[in-house]
Amino acid sequence: MSSIVLFDGVCNFCNDSVNFIIRHDRDNKFKFATLQSDIGQELRAEYNVGEDIDSIVLIENDQAFTHSTAGLRIAKALGGIWSLGYVYIIVPAVIRDWFYKLFAKYRYRLFGKKEVCMIPTPDVRERFLA
With beta carbons less than 8 A apart as the criterion, state whether 27 and 80 touch.
no
**Mean of pLDDT over the chain:** 91
Range(s) of the domain holding residue 104? 3-124
Tally the domains of the chain: 1
pLDDT at 48 over 90: yes
- CA atoms of 57 and 4, how far apart (whole Å): 8
Query: Hey, how many other C-beta atoms are within 10 angstroms of the C-beta on 36?
Result: 15
Determine, yes or no, domain membership for 130.
Answer: no
Determine, yes or no, domain membership for 129.
Answer: no
pLDDT at 94 over 90: yes
Mean pLDDT across the stretch 19-36? 93
Question: pTM of this prediction?
Answer: 0.89
pLDDT classification of 124: cutoffs 50, 70, 90: confident
Strand-strand pairing, 3-7 and 30-34: parallel
